[in-house]
Amino acid sequence: MNPRCKSTVILLSLLGAAAATPVQAQNADATFPSKPVRFIVPFPPGGNIDTHARIIGQKLTEAWHQTAIIDNRPGAGGQIGMELATKTAPDGYTLVWAGTSVLAVGPHVYQRLNFDGEKDFIAIIRAVDTQNILVVHPSLPVKTPKELIAFAKARPGALNFASSGSGTISHLAGELFKAMTKTDLAHIPYKGSAPAMTDLLSGQVGIMWDSLTSALPQARAGKLRALAVTGLKRSPSVPELPTMSEAALPGYEVINWLGILAPKGVRREIVVKINADVTQILKVPDVRERMLASGAEAAGSTPDEFAAFIHAESTKWGKIVKSVGVKPE
């Protein structure tokens, strides 16, 4: 073969390979997933994150005809599971569920982390939002957030609020309230929501920003007084209750959110597909009903919206954590 012909053959081969690449990529995306997909949940089974991961995982298994495996990897405030996810192949077959505590609070509480939630992961979708509810012991002569603010300002340092632990959302909700109202409340941390609720019911502490599932039944039974929810929109679980934002503090928002992320490097086409599939699942009536039963709401977002939201939440809670000096327990 003369040199000119040989060069032509080589050129045509290269052009053919280049032309085939997009088709191969499209075919790969069209068949995703072609095997089981692992969802790392960096917390123990039975908790809020695990419950919602399983609700959506069950529906993904049905939609994909491939098993969505829930892999619980608890420990170190979610760090063990998150670090494990960073070491997996970025092919879309290992994803991770994470939320407020891991992505927006933890980075400001722990001195050293083995992962960066924004740099090491690609945001796929914000899936679940859970509001807290502000409740007080009936002995406190307040019926609205405005009355609580006035009562607290008149008695600096005299009121206390319980939380499920230092650095938890129930703690930071109270700290955000203090910062926005310039009131002085004493924080009493507990090892979990249950012991905190016990002391709130007995009147040992007067105030708490707790989860809807825990506090709402007590309020409806008359054992506590509910003042407001912490989202920017009223909760479908208790639509008669105003938000903190509308009742007294414009812009006050505390959401315990949860979403799906992928290790950095996963192709955009796969991210878009997973986002679209989960978006459809979040519209299914029985999924929304099961979430509402646990005090949560189906959220939904584009990947870019979720990434921007994570950054905004991290900035917001980082300021609060720094001002309070939260330390890991």
CA distances to 13, 171, 190, 214, 291 from 195, rounded to whole Å, are 71, 14, 7, 12, 25
| CA 138 and chain centroid, separation | 31
pTM: 0.86
- Say which CATH number the domain at 239 has: 3.40.190.10
Same domain membership, residue 117 and residue 266:
yes
In a domain, 67, yes or no: yes
How do residues 129-150 score in pLDDT, each as one tens digit? Answer: 999 999 999 999 999 999 999 9
Phi, psi of 20 (to 5 degrees): -75, -25
pLDDT at 77 over 90: no
Per-residue pLDDT, 8: 45
In a domain, 163, yes or no: yes
Same domain membership, residue 138 and residue 92:
no
Same domain membership, residue 138 and residue 125:
no
In a domain, 144, yes or no: yes
pLDDT at 174 over 80: yes
How do residues 80-125 score in pLDDT, each as one tens digit? Answer: 999 999 999 999 999 999 999 999 999 999 888 889 999 999 999 9
Phi-psi group of 253: left, alpha or beta (phi > 0 → left; psi -120 to 50 → alpha; rest → beta): beta
**Mean pLDDT rounded to a whole number for the chain:** 91
Same domain membership, residue 236 and residue 147:
yes
Its domain, for residue 92, covers 35-130+255-324
Per-residue pLDDT, 329: 67
In a domain, 186, yes or no: yes
In a domain, 105, yes or no: yes
Per-residue pLDDT, 29: 59
Task: Report how many helices (DSSP H) and strands (DSSP E) the chain contains, helices first.
Answer: 13, 10
Q: Residue 7 corresponds to which tokens in the numbers above?
A: 């060069």
d(CA 189, CA 245): 25
Q: Which residue has the tokens 């977002």?
A: 301
- Bridge-based pairing state of the strands 121-136 and 296-298: antiparallel
In a domain, 16, yes or no: no
CB atoms within 10 A of CB 72: 17
Strands, E, within 28-175: which ranges?
37-41, 68-72, 94-99, 121-136, 159-163
- Say which CATH number the domain at 88 has: 3.40.190.150
Same domain membership, residue 193 and residue 157:
yes
Per-residue pLDDT, 21: 43
Same domain membership, residue 317 and residue 180:
no
Same domain membership, residue 263 and residue 239:
no
- Among residues 247, 275, 296, the one where a domain terminates is 247
Same domain membership, residue 264 and residue 243:
no
- Among residues 247, 266, 299, the one where a domain terminates is 247
Same domain membership, residue 218 and residue 175:
yes
The b-or-e profile of 291-321 (16+ CB within 10 A means b, else e) is beebbbbbbbbbbeebbebbeebbebbeebb
Please, which residues have CB within 8 angstroms of residue 23's CB and are 6 or more apart in sequence? Answer: none
- Among residues 185, 215, 247, the one where a domain terminates is 247
Per-residue pLDDT, 76: 87
8 A C-beta contact, residue 230 and residue 254: yes
Same domain membership, residue 207 and residue 106:
no
In a domain, 231, yes or no: yes
List beta partners, residue 133. 210, 229
Number of compact structural domains in the chain: 2
In a domain, 30, yes or no: no
Per-residue pLDDT, 239: 95
Tell me the mean pLDDT in the region 66-73: 97
Same domain membership, residue 261 and residue 226:
no
